[in-house]
Amino acid sequence: MNLDWKSLIVLTNPPVNPRMAVIYPVEGDNIFMVGLLGIGKTYPPTDKAGFMEFAKQIGVVEVQEIIEKSKPVSSIFGYREIGSRKYLFDKMKKWPDNFIALGDSVCSFNPIYGRGITVVAMCAKILKSQLENNRKTNNPIEKGFDQSFQRKVAKANSFPWLIGTSEDLRWPRSEGTRPNPLTKIMQKYVNDVMLLGPGSEIATRSFFAMLHLLKSPLVLFHPSIILHILYKKLVKNIKKLIK
Ligand SMILES: Cc1cc2nc3c(=O)[nH]c(=O)nc-3n(C[C@H](O)[C@H](O)[C@H](O)COP(=O)(O)OP(=O)(O)OC[C@H]3O[C@@H](n4cnc5c(N)ncnc54)[C@H](O)[C@@H]3O)c2cc1C
């Protein structure tokens, strides 16, 4: 199949469209992973007809076309879990000796944002460095090692948790404290960056670098991204005035 794109991502549009699609090559250029995702209880069905109907409801014809024209190499797999979950192990007054927890056992993120493995890897690096430091002091395991590690894990989880949950809170049915005005402004700005996506390499790269925790969110405030957003808004307003 000749395609003029490398990956096709249709994002949700809170609070209007809870459906999302991700299509990208997984082995060479001939095998693609097709993922249909829904927010809340908008579950993509795992039977072929239901899957196609969900793809249609995404409202982007290319999603439907590529599924229709392709030959499946596996059956459809589904995963149904809503929300994110975090245990405050770092706040526990009593903690068993020589016991640590990391990964999903501490904090499990809504998989729609795809960053659980990244955070586990970050925590594994923290553990390595803490063990190396401990070895230098010649103690087998120093007292408080585990609780100190749990605090570092909590810190590593905090930013991905914040960006994931504030995204989830855009949906009226999500439970939790509503975002404050500053968070709402940030959500709107991130939305504007995403909308630049297909036409702006720097916006796309910056957005994914932030999403996959490779760079700080400040990367989204590159002057050329800000100017591009302002330019788009100016053009939009001029068009409105002309009408
Ligand atoms: C649908 C989906 C898509 C995802 N997509 C992404 C993505 O694109 N990018 C990303 O970074 N993250 C993604 N994640 C998140 C990621 O998979 C998890 O964050 C990550 O796997 C957590 O690793 P873990 O080692 O903590 O737990 P797990 O990977 O769940 O490993 C725990 C292991 O312990 C075993 N186990 C459980 N109980 C016991 C027991 N009593 N005795 C012995 N063994 C036991 C389990 O069988 C399992 O093998 C996704 C998650 C889901 C569900």
Q: Which DSSP string do the residues of the chain spell out, in sequence order?
A: ---S-S-EEE--BTTTB-EEEEEEEEETTTEEEEEEEESTT-PPPSSHHHHHHHHHHT--HHHHHHHHHS--SS--------S-EE--GGG-S---TT----GGGTEE--GGG--HHHHHHHHHHHHHHHHHHHHHTT-SS-TTHHHHHHHHHHHHHHHHHHHHHHHHTTSTT--SPPPPHHHHHHHHHHHHHHHHGGG-HHHHHHHHHHHTTSS-GGGGG-HHHHHHHHHHHHHHHHHHHH-
Which residue puts its alpha carbon closest to atom 30 of ligand 1?
A: 104
pLDDT of residue 114 exceeding 90:
no
Q: Could you read off the pLDDT of 25-78 as tens digits, one per residue?
A: 998 778 999 999 998 889 999 999 999 999 999 999 999 999 999 999 999 999
* pTM of the predicted model as reported, rounded to 2 decimal places: 0.84
Arithmetic mean of pLDDT, 187-211? 90
Q: Which position has the higher pLDDT, 153 or 197?
A: 153
- Give distance in angstroms: CA of 122 to centre of ligand 1: 15
Grade residue 173 by pLDDT with cuts at 50, 70 and 90: confident
Is the CB of 44 within 6 Å of ligand 1?
A: no
pLDDT of residue 125 exceeding 90:
yes
- Give distance in angstroms: CA of 84 to centre of ligand 1: 13
- Give distance in angstroms: CA of 81 to centre of ligand 1: 13
- Give distance in angstroms: CA of 4 to centre of ligand 1: 34
Is the CB of 117 within 6 Å of ligand 1?
A: yes
pLDDT of residue 204 exceeding 90:
yes
Is the CB of 83 within 6 Å of ligand 1?
A: no
Confidence (pLDDT) at 57: 94
